[in-house]
Amino acid sequence: MSASIQFNSEKSVKKDNTLYTKFTYENSIVETSEAGAFSVTPTAIDYQFKVDLTTPKTGLMLVGLGGNNGTTLVGSVLANKHNISFETKEGVIKPNYYGSVTQSSTIKLGVDQGGNDVYAPFNSILPFVSPNDFVVGGWDISNANLAESMKRSQVLDVTLQKQLYPYIEQITPLPSVYYPDFIALNQKERANNVSNLKDGEVFTGDKWADVEKVRKDIRDFKEKNSLDKVIVLWTANTERFSELIPGVNDTADNLLEAIKSNHAEVSPSTVFAVACILDQIPYINGSPQNTFVPGAIELAEKHKTFIGGDDFKSGQTKLKSVLAQFLVDAGIRPVSIASYNHLGNNDGYNLSSPLQFRSKEISKQSVVDDIIESNQILYNKEKGDKIDHCIVIKYLPAVGDSKVAMDEYYSELMLGGHNKISIHNVCEDSLLATPLIIDLVVMTEFLSRVSYKKASESDDKYEDFYAVLSLLSYWLKAPLSRPGFKPINGLNKQRLAIENLLRLLVGLPVNNDLRFEERLA
């Protein structure tokens, strides 16, 4: 149950279930001379924000519905919705959404009269869609019903699975899009729920027809379930990277033509993305491949459709985005990061193929890029200073969904000293990834209800956020950013941006920890 909060701010006013807020965005513009001198000028822009406070009936369509993440997501929603508890050797487990920021974390509201921090549930600040109310469907290359898929995934406790079976035995994924060249050959046996192959091997279909099929699937799902909104999220296998080719996927028009001509470098995930973009259905990529080629981003801009990605940031990489930032902010110079993983689920099986592993390697390596660039004392850009970053992923069936991650951070201290931090992390992969799916969907839906305009503009036309939802970067390894802008990977910066957005929308000042109540005489 969400806390009851009354915001007493002159900056916000509620009218007809819509919240209107005034906010002054303050920043500093920095100019750098050739000699390296900085000229810093404070800036301020007045904005007006509008939030629709009505939460819509929301559908979630997963690409990869029958996989580990898909079945765990469905199971978690049903367990919480129907209040299903289950017994393990450690006692009775009540349903919860641990690991979800929107459902299980808090935000600082301010301080009490004694100067002590006061926190409230994240989802009590403004109205958010509850995951209990998600209507879930989707596609999969396997035709197994969700009861069979859940059993195959070996993620949830058996006593919970048995209670969930009556709800999921009749759910079968829609046939998905499958181009064998994009995922590992070892996935071929699972691909028995596709309509574009001959004898299960040869692509004989029409990629534009696949786009139209996905569009129809979404429209039918929305109509059948009387939904206000649908969000589509890719949680299927990691694909190989698509080659970026001028004249093929570099512009929106070229990409559409490439799909219609069945070009080999158009991936299934891009087909899903284009289908969603054309109908203004938000689309999130939870895997590391380059789904959003430049043409797809331009298409999203044209159709003003929200997109987000790439690759769920759950365990090892999330920790890396904190620890690397800590070291650099402390003036310590990391010189190498060695990351080793082994896991035994189907994700690991698919990643045992070199091309698919390369996609994952790229997304995991990029997490420290902006951290390096933040400190020119430790890393000289002109000399090409960087962190030696090695990533290894091995498939080991025995460990199942429990991913084992071992990291070594080797850093340089003052006067030739060195520091080595070694971390051994064992995590249940899908039980970390599933809360990320929940948060990505909840936040995407919420951001679709927020609009803004500059206070200096005389008309009453409010604009939506830019198509690429970089505010989702907290949950993603290789966050997508607006072309021309560098992504932010530091976890604390990502989280602070989300908190401050919610605060400004209810008329509160952006958060700080100056704590003058304590520090000033």
From the candidates 229, 401, 403, 407, give the one annotated as an active-site residue: 403
Domain boundaries, the chain: 12-54+441-517, 58-96+126-312, 316-429
pLDDT in tens, 81-110: 999 999 999 999 999 999 999 999 999 999
Residue 364 pLDDT: 61
Q: Decide if pLDDT at 245 tops 60.
A: yes
Q: What percent of the chain has pLDDT over 90?
A: 69
315 pLDDT tier (thresholds 50, 70, 90)? confident
Q: Which one has a higher pLDDT value, 313 or 201?
A: 313
H, E, C per residue of 197-253? EECCCEECCCHHHHHHHHHHHHHHHHHHCCCCEEEEEECCCCCCCCCCCCCCCCCHH
Residue 464 bears catalytic tag:
no
Residue 304 pLDDT: 97
Instruction: Confirm if 173 and 142 have CB atoms less than 8 A apart.
Output: yes
**Pairwise CA distance, residues 378 & 325, whole Å:** 13
Residue 263: count other Cβ atoms within 10 Å of its Cβ.
17
Three-state SS for 138? strand
pLDDT in tens, 336-358: 999 888 887 777 766 666 666 56
Fold adopted by 58-96+126-312 = Rossmann fold (3.40.50)
CB neighbour list of residue 357: distance below 8 Å, 6 or more residues apart? 351, 393
Residue 403 bears catalytic tag:
yes
Q: What percent of the chain has pLDDT over 70?
A: 94
Q: Decide if pLDDT at 204 tops 80.
A: no
Structure tokens at 505: 């929308």
Fold adopted by 316-429 = Dihydrodipicolinate Reductase; domain 2 (3.30.360)
458 pLDDT tier (thresholds 50, 70, 90)? confident
**Pairwise CA distance, residues 368 & 371, whole Å:** 5
E-strand spans in 283-437? Answer: 283-285, 307-309, 333-343, 388-395, 402-412, 418-428
**Pairwise CA distance, residues 263 & 97, whole Å:** 42
Instruction: Confirm if 271 and 209 have CB atoms less than 8 A apart.
Output: no
Residue 362 pLDDT: 65
Residue 81 bears catalytic tag:
no
Residue 110's DSSP bridge partners are 118
Q: What's the alpha-carbon Rg for the chain, to the nearest Å?
A: 24
Residue 311 bears catalytic tag:
yes
Q: Decide if pLDDT at 284 tops 80.
A: yes
Structure tokens at 448: 């679709």
Question: Do 12-54+441-517 and 316-429 fold alike per CATH?
Answer: no
Instruction: Confirm if 122 and 102 have CB atoms less than 8 A apart.
Output: yes
From the candidates 207, 360, 401, 439, give the one annotated as an active-site residue: 360
Secondary structure of the chain: what % helix, strand, coil (to 5)? 35, 25, 40
The dotted CATH code for 12-54+441-517 is 3.30.2360.10
Q: Decide if pLDDT at 514 tops 70.
A: yes
- What are phi and psi for residue 402, nearest 5 degrees? -85, 100
Q: Decide if pLDDT at 225 tops 70.
A: yes
From the candidates 210, 217, 311, 429, give the one annotated as an active-site residue: 311
Q: What is the mean pLDDT of the chain?
A: 91
Three-state SS for 306? coil
